[in-house]
Structures are given as C-alpha cells and as structure tokens.
Amino acid sequence: MKNAEIKSPQYARSLIEASLDPLVTISTMGKITDMNEALTNLTGISREQLIGTDFKDYFTDSRKARKVYKEVFAKGFVIDSPLTMRDSKSTDVLFNGSVYKDGRGKVLGAVVVARDITERKRIERQLIEARVFAELAASMAELAKTKAEGATRYAESAMKAKQQFLSNMSHEIRTPMNAIIGFTKVVLKTDLSAEQKEYLIAIKMSGDSLIVLIDDILDLAKVDAGKMSFEKTPFRMTTSLAVMLKLFQTKIQEKNIEIVSEYDIDIPGVLMGDAMRLHQIFINLISNAVKFTNEGKITVCARLLSEDAEHATIEFSVTDTGIGISKEKLGQVFENFQQATSGTSRLYGGTGLGLAIVKQLVELQGGTITVKSEVDKGSTFSFNLNFQKTNGEAELEVELIELDKEIKNIKVLVVEDIPLNQLLMKTLLDDFGFERDVAANGKIAIEKLKAGSYDIILMDLQMPEMNGFVATDYIRNTMQSKIPIIALTADVTTVDLEKCKAVGMNDYISKPVDERILYSKMMALVKKPAPEVKKARDKNSNEVKTSTRCIDLGSLSQRTRKDPSLMKEMILLYLDQTPTLIHAMKQSFNDKDWNGLHMAAHTLIPSFSIMGIHVDFENMAKKIQEYAIAQRQAEGMDEIVLQLENICLQACKELQEELKELKMQTYAT
Ligand code: ADP
C-alpha cells in the first residue's frame, strides 16, 4: 500500500468505521472532535450534534468521565476504564484509549474506544448470582442436613424412649397380671359355686385379653422401629401345627364346632424358620375363626406349593364357616385397629390389631396373605411362606404333654425375687407334683445348688444382688453344671433370646406362665437322657438294634433316683398301657381312624425314652403321628406299625423280667 493512500482521509475514516466498538476522538479540552457510526448508533445522537460537545456529558457519572479523559492526557493512555453511557439502555462500557500527537510530539487529542460490556456484565452478574445461589443452596442444604440429622436423632431417641417405655410398661403390667391370672387359675381349681366360677372365668378372660393387647402393641412398635426379627432355626412343621391345634381343643369343644387339619405330607420334615412367629400367625387366624364361627368347622391346611433343592414354599390356610366379612370391609381388615363392623368389639371383643400384625409377620418374611369371605358363609385366610430346607434335626420342641401325676421326684429350684411370683410358682409346681425350693436371687440360688441337688432351675431374669444372666453364667462356666435352666421373663421386648442362649439357658417362658407350656418344657428338659448315656449307646447303635435286649433302664433309674418301688410303678404302668395302645394303633390304622391313630402314637412316644428304647423307634412313632395329622396313608406305614408292635411287645417281655428282679430287691430290703 502506498503512503499517500494511508494518509488519505477515506483511509482514516474506513479504519475508524471498521471498529464495531464505539470510537471517539476528543480534544485536549475534552470536546468531541470525531466518532464512528457505532457511537452515533449507541447514543442515538447524530454526528453533527455530537461534535463540539463535552465528552463527559454522555455518561451517567460525568465526574468519573472527566477523570478518564484527564487520565488519558495525563498518562498518555487509559486501559479498561469503566463508565456507563447515558443512553436509553445505560450501556456499560470499558474505555481504552491513547493520545495522538502532531509531527513535533505535541498532543492534539485522544482516541478512545468504548467496549460495550453489557453482555459480559450480564454474564458476570449471572455468574455471581449463580455462585451466590449455589452458596445459598449449599448452606441451605447444610442447614437442612443439620435439621434432618437433628430430626433423625430426635426420632431415634423418641423411638428408643417409646421402646423403653413400652418395654417397662410391659414388665410393669405383666408382673401384677402374672399374679392376677395365675392365682385366678389356682382358685378356679378349687371348689366353687357356679356363680363364683363364672366371675373368676370373666377375670381370667379379661386378664388374658389384656396380655394379648400388650403383646400386640409391643409387636406393632417393633415393626414400626424396624426391629422385628425372625429366627432361622430347624423345626418340625407337623409338631408345631399339632401343638398349636391342641391349644384350641377346649374352646372348640365349648363352641361345639369341629377343627380339621389337612397336612400335605410332601412338606419336608424339618425346615428352617421361625416356628414361634408361625405359631403366632396361626393363633391369630384360628382365634378369629373360632371367635366368629358358631357352627360348622374350621379347616387348617398346609400344602407344599413348590420346592427346589434348597427351599420349600408352603401355602397355609384357615377356613371357617362363620359369619363372614362384607365386601366393603374386606379390604380393611388388615389395617391397624380395623374391625369389620362397629359392633364387632362389643359383640366379640378384640381390638382390630391381630390381622395387622399377621400381615406384617407374613410380609416381613417375604410372604403374602389374602382373604376371601362371604357373609354368612365363612372366610378363608391364606398365606404363603418360603422356608429353607435342612437335613439337620429339629431343635428342642415343646410338644404339649398332659400333666402326669405319676411323675414325681423332680426337684425344681425356683429363682425369683417377687414373693407373689414365688408363691404362684410354688402352687403350680405343687400341682405338678414336683418338689420345689425357692431362692430369692442368683446368689442364693448358687449357694443352694452347691449344697443340694436339683433336676431343673426356673430362673427369673431381673433380680437384685445377682440377676439371672450372671447366675446362669456362673452355673455353666464356674460350676460346670449342665442342669437344665428355663428363663422366666415378664419382658418380652427386651428379653434377648440370644443372650439367654449365649449364657447357656436351655429355654425360656414368658409370664404369665401357661402351666401346660411350663410343664411340657420342663418335662422335655428333664426327660432328655443324660448325654453320656446317649453317647455310649450311639457308639454301639448297631448292637442296640440287633441285641436281644431293647430296653435300657439307665435313665429311668436315674430319674427315679434308683427308688425300686417308683421304678416298679413306672414299669407296671408301661405294661398296663402299652398292649392297649398297640392294639388301638393297629386298629385305628386299619380303620383309617386318623384321630385314634394320632392319639395312640402320641401317647406311646414318651414311653420310648423313659424305658430307654432306641430313639429310632420313637422317631417311627413320631412318623406315624405325622401321617395321622396329615390324615394320609403313606407307603411303608404298615411296616412301621408292625415294627413298633414288635419292639413294644419285646419291651414288655423284658420289663416283666425287670419287674421280677425289682420285686426280689424289694423283698430283700
Ligand atoms: P380383632 O379380632 O382383635 O378385632 P383382627 O385384626 O384379628 O382384630 O380382625 C379384624 C376384624 O376382621 C375383626 O374385628 C372382624 O371384624 C374381622 N374378622 C377377622 N377374622 C374374621 C373371621 N374369621 N370371620 C369373620 N370376621 C373376621
């Protein structure tokens, strides 16, 4: 490009106009001398009007504008000086400029370029706003977190307080209720007029329902707190159901209705699960069925739904021919405090909590529950549960056994601090015909154990001086004693079954004590053959089976403390009842009289261990009992009946011999 072109005014103008940013030249006096179109566009003022006017007048802050122009001339340049134009949009600009001089270096004026930074400022502002918002949000989140943590802590401590309160209340209510219900039962056994009996039954029933209510509320609180836990222990489903059905025998007879069980014998013998909770589900459903049925029958059904190598799914149902539930109410019966009609409570009692708990118990174990019902026809509650299969043996189970007044000579140590409970226990044990001794705390119990011998201990947990856990720990670990210990507890929420087991207790029973359960649990523990005896027999198990002698009176003589007259009595009893039972078993098997078969097998079962007959035969009798409960004939059953007949006849023969021996001994002494 030629020098002349560069110097041409058009060239200078095109350079000025090339800038998209507003550009202006000012004289040393601060007057506008030239500008580009961008500036006239921005200000909306024509070139002619702008020329010769004061530079500073076009800015919102004219003093600041004057400073800028002064700075240019003082320093010779200005960089990024911020100003706001006095235009309709108050455009924010940054001024950059420098002076221009003539050939001799004299300053003629200044060229300043204004950069519109509205957009930049907007973004900046937005960024700042965003940052402020972000900071605000962060601090709000922090605040919310702190609040939430506080709320959680509060809720947790409220929940803990609720649990503690319920647990304490449970204990406080159960303790006197234990005495009320217990002594009512004691008085009920005495001679009473019909009227007195009626009043006492009313007291007992009210007490029982109060205990049910406490248990229900505690269970719901547990579900609320997410503390409902389920055991996974091996149990025998048939035994579990049989025990439960037995509990309803009296009620059923009173109401003149029938209870039928349909048990699928394909259900694996031993399963892993929570037998106690299954019991609780059934008790609730059957209680309702009994309560709401006045004629007809109740059918309790267990059916194998599906099975694989590891699990079995079982469908259970309870069907009644009772009053039924209307369609509108059917959807609500599983809700808390819901009853089908407002008059239900008045007519039938109850609180409407039972089914809510049943639903929770089923669903928390991964099962489902449904109900079908028709008014005046009846209802069916069905639920299914999945159980893990096991080859293991079922844990010690309580099979409800009838009070046998013949069994005496069992010495019980009751460890209990509350005098009322002591008295109640004494009365119960006297009824059982057992000998008993009482210790007011763990320490006294240990002294008594050191001084005398006992067959079983009933141990309260909360006691002054030394509680039940510490005492049991001492008995097991320091004294190295294997004496059976049953824990007695009035507090079902905090009773830590694991803790009971961990210190070496064999079982536990909650107050108010059900005397049948107490008796059965005690008998199950005292009748268990001593481990040493069992081991010796296990070693020679073949020999036992093939040996000509099938009985072993070791455990009988231990239990009767070698008292020959007592042994004689027991043997006579066996000789007296066994042939009749065998006959009844055979007859009812041939006639498919399942109830008769159940009764015969059931009565025979305890006699095997009493007379030391090999456990295989006891298991055979249990098998027969299972088939009878299931009301089904299975392959090989006739063979088992025959084997049982043979072994019992052989046992009778051997016991006749023993009896002769014992008679000789008695004459000799
Ligand atoms: P509760 O029996 O204590 O009232 P449940 O939760 O066990 O509480 O039962 C809720 C309601 O459902 C009962 O009050 C009754 O109206 C109805 N119900 C439950 N089972 C049956 C049944 N088998 N037959 C008729 N109604 C029933």
Q: Is the CB of 378 under 6 A from ligand 1?
A: no
Q: Is the CB of 339 under 6 A from ligand 1?
A: yes
Q: Is the pLDDT of residue 631 over 90?
A: no
Nearest CA to ligand 1 atom 23: 289
Cβ(56)–Cβ(65) under 8 Å? yes
Q: Is the pLDDT of residue 538 over 50?
A: no
Among 288, 293, 326, 381, the mutation site with the greatest number of ligand 1 atoms within 8 A of its Cβ is 288
Q: Is the pLDDT of residue 512 over 60?
A: yes
Q: Is the pLDDT of residue 632 over 80?
A: no
Looking at every residue in the chain, the average pLDDT score rounds to: 82
The model's pTM is: 0.50
C-alpha of residue 325 to centroid of ligand 1, in Å: 8
Mean pLDDT across the stretch 57-73? 88
How many Å apart are CA 67 and CA 54, to the nearest integer? 13
Nearest CA to ligand 1 atom 16: 340
Identify the pLDDT of residue 421: 81
- Which of 7-16, 45-54, 478-487 is predicted with the least confidence, judged by mean pLDDT? 7-16
C-alpha of residue 351 to centroid of ligand 1, in Å: 9
Question: pLDDT tens, 186-227?
Answer: 888 888 888 888 888 878 877 887 887 787 777 777 777 777
C-alpha of residue 323 to centroid of ligand 1, in Å: 10
> Tokens for 242?
């049989």
Identify the pLDDT of residue 532: 34
- Which of 69-78, 335-344, 362-371, 566-575 is predicted with the least confidence, judged by mean pLDDT? 335-344
Identify the pLDDT of residue 540: 37
Identify the pLDDT of residue 351: 64
Identify the pLDDT of residue 545: 36
Identify the pLDDT of residue 405: 66
Q: Is the CB of 322 under 6 A from ligand 1?
A: yes
C-alpha of residue 375 to centroid of ligand 1, in Å: 13
How many Å apart are CA 273 and CA 270, to the nearest integer? 10
Identify the pLDDT of residue 610: 76
Q: Is the CB of 321 under 6 A from ligand 1?
A: no
| H or E segment and range at residue 610 | helix 594-610
Identify the pLDDT of residue 543: 35
Identify the pLDDT of residue 363: 93
pLDDT grade for 31, boundaries at 50, 70 and 90:
very high
C-alpha of residue 292 to centroid of ligand 1, in Å: 8
C-alpha of residue 369 to centroid of ligand 1, in Å: 14
Question: pLDDT tens, 84-131?
Answer: 888 888 888 888 989 999 888 899 999 989 888 888 878 887 787 777
Identify the pLDDT of residue 541: 37
Other CB atoms within 10 Å distance of the CB of residue 227: 11
* Strongest mean pLDDT among 71-80, 261-270, 366-375, 601-610: 366-375
pLDDT grade for 286, boundaries at 50, 70 and 90:
very high
Going by C-alpha positions, the residue among 212, 154, 221 that lies closest to residue 181 is: 212
Cβ(16)–Cβ(23) under 8 Å? yes
Mean pLDDT across the stretch 245-260? 83
pLDDT grade for 53, boundaries at 50, 70 and 90:
very high
C-alpha of residue 312 to centroid of ligand 1, in Å: 29
| H or E segment and range at residue 604 | helix 594-610
C-alpha of residue 205 to centroid of ligand 1, in Å: 18
Identify the pLDDT of residue 653: 87
Nearest CA to ligand 1 atom 21: 288
Question: pLDDT tens, 541-573?
Answer: 333 333 467 888 876 776 666 777 777 777 887
Q: What percent of the chain has pLDDT over 90?
A: 20
Nearest CA to ligand 1 atom 19: 288
How many Å apart are CA 366 and CA 594, to the nearest integer? 34
Instruction: Report which ligand 1 atom has the smallest distance to the Cα of 293.
Output: 24
Identify the pLDDT of residue 370: 95
Identify the pLDDT of residue 390: 85
Give 476's DSSP letter.
I
Nearest CA to ligand 1 atom 14: 339
pLDDT grade for 513, boundaries at 50, 70 and 90:
confident
**DSSP labels, 125-192:** HHHHHHHHHHHHHHHHHHHHHHHHHHHHHHHHHHHHHHHHHHHHHHHHHHHHHHHHHHHHHHHHTS--
Q: How are beta strands 485-489 and 456-460 bridged, if at all?
A: parallel
Mean pLDDT across the stretch 330-354? 68
Q: Is the pLDDT of residue 28 over 60?
A: yes
Q: Give yes or no for a cis peptide into 512 (omega within 30° of 0).
A: yes
Q: Is the CB of 288 under 6 A from ligand 1?
A: yes
How many Å apart are CA 239 and CA 241, to the nearest integer? 5
Q: Is the CB of 242 under 6 A from ligand 1?
A: no
Q: Is the pLDDT of residue 623 over 60?
A: yes
Q: Is the pLDDT of residue 396 over 60?
A: no
190: Cα separation from own chain's centroid: 42
- Residue 199 half-sphere exposure, CB side, CA atoms within 13 Å? 5
C-alpha of residue 363 to centroid of ligand 1, in Å: 19
C-alpha of residue 509 to centroid of ligand 1, in Å: 28
Question: pLDDT tens, 471-511?
Answer: 999 998 888 888 999 998 866 555 566 778 888 888 888 77
Identify the pLDDT of residue 74: 92
pLDDT grade for 324, boundaries at 50, 70 and 90:
very high
Q: Is the pLDDT of residue 639 over 90?
A: no
